[in-house]
Amino acid sequence: MLPQFQVQYRHFQQMLYLLQTQLEQSDRPQLQESLAAAQTYFQEQILSVEPETFEPAEASRIYSFQVEINKQLRLLNTDLMFLQTARLSATQSQRRQQIGDRLTLLLRYCEGILDEK
């Protein structure tokens, strides 16, 4: 795997950890802003890397993860919109749990990409 690509994924991973912290602190406006930044970073810095720069087997594995990460980021955005419209405490709690679970999944995907086995 390319060293610069690893650096980009580690930075993206740190952005996801920040989102987890903001979720725990109930900082909704900052959460939305950080999610937008993470999505932009993923689109512009990570997806822009040409697959031809990797070995064929590695490119296939990375592409699979990237498709899932992209999908989960879109779903995370939807979850966050639902959280912002939730009025009942129980609903807010449920939405926070869903967002937390999705962030955990995204972090696992990042670990899967960074694991070079």
Output the pTM of the full model.
0.90
So what's the pLDDT on residue 26? Answer: 80
The tokens for 37 are 């930044």
Structural domains present in the chain: 3-49+59-114 (1.20.120)
* pLDDT reading at 1 higher than 70: no
Higher pLDDT, 55 or 21: 21
Distance of CA 54 to the CA centre of its chain: 22
106 closest CA partner among 20, 5, 36: 20
Distance of alpha carbon 93 from alpha carbon 69, whole angstroms: 24
CA gyration radius for the chain? 15
pLDDT in tens, 76-93: 999 999 998 999 999 999
Q: 95 with 86: CB under 8 angstroms?
A: yes
The tokens for 66 are 């990237």
Q: Count CB atoms within 10 A of the CB of residue 19.
A: 24
22 closest CA partner among 83, 67, 70: 83
So what's the pLDDT on residue 54? Answer: 79
